[in-house]
Amino acid sequence: MNKPSPRLSENTDPGVRHDWSRTEVRSFFELPFNDLLYRAQTAHRRHFDPTAVQISTLLSIKTGGCPEDCGYCPQSVHYDTGLEPEALLDVEEVVTAARRAREAGATRFCMGAAWRNPRGGNFERVLEMVRRVRAEGLETCVTLGMLDAEQTRALKQAGIDYYNHNLDTSPEFYGEIITTRRYQDRLDTLGYVRDAGINVCCGGIVGLGESRADRVSLLCELANLPEHPASVPINQLVKVAGTPLENEPGIEPLEFVRTIAVARLLMPASWVRLSAGRSEMTDELQALCFLAGANSIFYGEKLLTTGNPDTARDDALFEKLGLRPA
């Protein structure tokens, strides 16, 4: 006997809700693939131009030496991945990189630092980076680890547009991947960011060895936040030699597309970003992800420490699909 589909008519989407049950979210995953994509695309078109893709560029402003033990991350001090730590960049280096990104077509410039939480003069230098990059006419985003209320207020005053702090995976699977930071620590930082009036950028990573139930739980956590994240990055695990997950089989491609589609249905007005792992995706897989509701990418040849498709490949893909920068 067929299971009933979620209550979504052909001409409507579920709307903006914050009370999703795991049963409801699981039922989306279980829809026939074509039906799921149709519904996701219908929801997408109610909130976005389906041919427009938001372009971001990501720069590692402080690389390696992180005390956290995230099992996927080559920047952790717990793993020998051959990565050479680098100190916090000078402000002028960051501004120069931001100008190059803007000239290449990026509208948002994201800065990532491998910290548990920023301190002292380093944080003050990041505030100056935010001010200078914003003066270049770009939206600004940073990911610096955990923050407190005072730090989020300082970032707001500096003009930050977005703060990225991912949940990574489900609460149930989290302890299998990270032990040095609690799930609640992440939720607390997100609360400080929201309270300061900063847009939240928050998503997760799939292919860590989690089950579909974990993907259901992760998306449920994101969609049931007090406000939906303005940007929802969905990362595919990039397997790095020397990390505990280097031999993880990863996620089946169509299951990845399903995850994108369900994210779109649950958070219809959020930017859903194809993030890490795009360099390993075929053009056909990316095309399905855009059809499923993805409408944001990182643009450029590097994501912090891992590869990303070069700009020429992305330009060619956009041309073939009739997409354009938002």
Q: What are the residue numbers of the active site?
A: 66, 70, 73, 110, 141, 201, 273
Burial (CB count within 10 angstroms: exposed 0-12, middle 13-18, buried 19+), residue 177: buried
- Contact between 6 and 24 under an 8 Å Cβ cutoff? The reply is yes
- Contact between 63 and 73 under an 8 Å Cβ cutoff? The reply is no
Q: What φ, ψ does residue 267 adopt, rounded to 5°?
A: -130, 70
- What residues does 113 pair with on adjacent strands? 62
Structure tokens at 115: 């910290």
What whole-number distance in Å separates Cα of residue 127 and Cα of residue 263?
32
Coil, helix or strand at residue 207: coil
Element (H, E) at 158: helix 149-158
Coil, helix or strand at residue 173: coil
What whole-number distance in Å separates Cα of residue 286 and Cα of residue 288?
5
Burial (CB count within 10 angstroms: exposed 0-12, middle 13-18, buried 19+), residue 86: middle
DSSP state of 225: S
What whole-number distance in Å separates Cα of residue 93 and Cα of residue 79?
28
Coil, helix or strand at residue 98: helix
Nearest CA among 186, 253, 255, 272 for reference residue 225: 186
Nearest CA among 183, 180, 158 for reference residue 169: 183
| Whole-Å CA distances, 234 to 131, 146, 195, 214, 295 | 28, 20, 24, 14, 11
